[in-house]
Amino acid sequence: MTGWFVARGEMTVQVDQTLARTWAPNVHAPPQSEIRALNDWCRGVVTQPWMARDTIPTVILADGTSCPPNEFRSVKVADGDLLVAGSGTSGAGAHSYYRDGRLANGDAVRVYVVSYGPVVFNGRPTTAAVALSQPLRPVHDALFGIALITTYAAALVIAVSAAGALWLARRALQPVDHLTRAAESIARTQNPGITIDVSGSDEIARLGVAFNAMSTALAQSRDSQSRLIADAGHELRTPLTSLRTNIDLLVRSEETGRPLPAATRAKLFAGVKPQMVELSTLIGDLLVLSRPAQAAGAAPAAVLGLHDIVSRALDRARLRGPSLVFNVDLQPWYVRADAHTMERAVVNLLDNAVKFSPVGESVDVSLTSGVLTIRDHGPGIAPEDLPHVFDRFWRAPSARQLPGSGLGLAIVSQAVRDAGGEVSLGHAVPGSDGTTDGAVATVRLPGSPTPPARTTPVPRDN
């Protein structure tokens, strides 16, 4: 569009220059012979020799009369033409201007109006102007051609640009399309774990990576929940079956009127209580493990003295292992964690140490710079069992006859992980007395030896 306007302006300038060159020989005062010739031309007698090809001259008198009169090729007179004709100037000081106009027959022309000075027309003195007209049809045809070519070229450019933009948009948004289909598939099948191929490092690629991570995490969480439910059902079946069998025997003896022997009856009642305790413990452990893990970076609000938690857990451990010797070295260490869960984790670690420690042996407990170590002098852990000690419901073959559900260390791992720490279980290092038996549990928790300063809460606007 801009090119069309530029071309129109250039062509108009060229036409104006042609009209100016046509009148150039007569810029200075024309001789009387030419004036008479012009008057004769108005009467249709002669043709001016200085007129350029295709130039259409029209004499305009000050009173508005145009010559030749009523000629279909004379230019239509405008108000500005009368002002120039009435100026009476000629030669170098002649008044002139350019305008667009039309001939009497309606053809569009470019008009150059220049004052001619005093003339005698039909024996009457007056002043006149000469309007030189150049047809604009060639210019309009050229501009129409330019407009047509420009339109076709613009349409082609727009079509190619649109096709290219559509292709680029589809190519750029292809990962989003894959992402949408994957999300729709997950919503339709209720089956997370679907991932998409990701390439590049732009925002869409980051979105794809985040979606893959989310989908994988959801799949792992669902698998973990499914395994927990399956394992929990398996573990609950044993105490429930035993408890139901004992109760059925007692109920049947009452219904049939055949009482059980006193010893048998006492034994059944004696077995119900530990079975109920085992079932309650198992349900409590499942409730702890079923709670969602602490989100990464979300620190618990409670500030706890880990040394206080260990001290309370040791009181319970001494009741369960009265024959054991506890070597304790606790230094102050404050952490952010859930009080109940953290105490449950420490109790579980001490219970393991008590459970596997021979009578009369010692259990070493120390807390230094945020590192809690609990060492027993029992049989230790087989190397092939170490990778599984924190798995849910896993129990070493040598410990399957001992009481427990296999959830204690899993609770420890989740509690320490939620508090931002690390836990490990391995063989004890050789002692000063040369002994290498036993296992050692190590818990590392972030914190400080002094409690953090309390901050005054900022009041909220109601």
CATH of the domain at 421: 3.30.565.10
Residue 263 forms part of a structural domain: yes
pLDDT per residue as tens digits for the range 116-149 = 777 777 677 888 888 888 888 888 888 888 888 8
Query: For position 309, what pLDDT does the model report?
Result: 92
- Helix, coil or strand: residue 195: coil
3-state secondary structure 37-101: HHHHHHCCCCCCCCCCCCCEEEEEECCCCEECCCCCCCECCCHHHHHHHHCCCCHHHCCEEEEEE
Q: What burial class does residue 385 get, using C-beta atoms within 10 Å of its C-beta: 0-12 exposed, 13-18 middle, 19+ buried?
A: middle
Same-domain check for residues 221 and 105: no
Rounded to the nearest integer, the mean pLDDT of the chain is: 77
Quote the domain boundaries for residue 109.
Answer: 2-142
Nearest CA to 112 out of 13, 218, 183 is that of 13
Mean pLDDT of 339-343: 85
Query: For position 45, what pLDDT does the model report?
Result: 38
Same-domain check for residues 7 and 116: yes
pLDDT per residue as tens digits for the range 301-326 = 578 899 999 999 998 888 888 888 89
How far is the C-alpha of 140 from the C-alpha of 134, rounded, in Å? 12
What is the total count of domains within the chain?
Answer: 3
How far is the C-alpha of 126 from the C-alpha of 50, rounded, in Å? 23
Query: For position 371, what pLDDT does the model report?
Result: 92
Same-domain check for residues 27 and 123: yes
pLDDT over threshold 60, residue 221: yes
Residue 449 forms part of a structural domain: no
Nearest CA to 196 out of 178, 210, 219, 184 is that of 178
Query: For position 344, what pLDDT does the model report?
Result: 84
CATH of the domain at 212: 1.10.287.130
Asked if 405 contacts 282 with a C-beta cutoff of 8 angstroms, the reply is yes
Residue 412 one-letter amino acid? V
Query: For position 397, what pLDDT does the model report?
Result: 57
pTM above 0.85, yes or no: no
Same-domain check for residues 314 and 284: no
Q: Which residue has the higher pLDDT, 166 or 21?
A: 166
Same-domain check for residues 286 and 339: no
pLDDT per residue as tens digits for the range 25-48 = 554 445 555 555 555 655 543 455
The DSSP bridge partners found for residue 441 are 374, 425
pLDDT per residue as tens digits for the range 254-312 = 778 777 787 877 777 777 777 777 677 667 766 766 665 554 444 455 788 999 999 99
pLDDT per residue as tens digits for the range 351-409 = 888 888 888 888 999 999 989 999 988 888 777 777 777 776 666 655 555 555 667 78
Same-domain check for residues 342 and 419: yes
Band of residue 50 on the pLDDT scale cut at 50, 70, 90: low
Query: For position 374, what pLDDT does the model report?
Result: 92
Same-domain check for residues 317 and 273: no
Query: For position 367, what pLDDT does the model report?
Result: 93
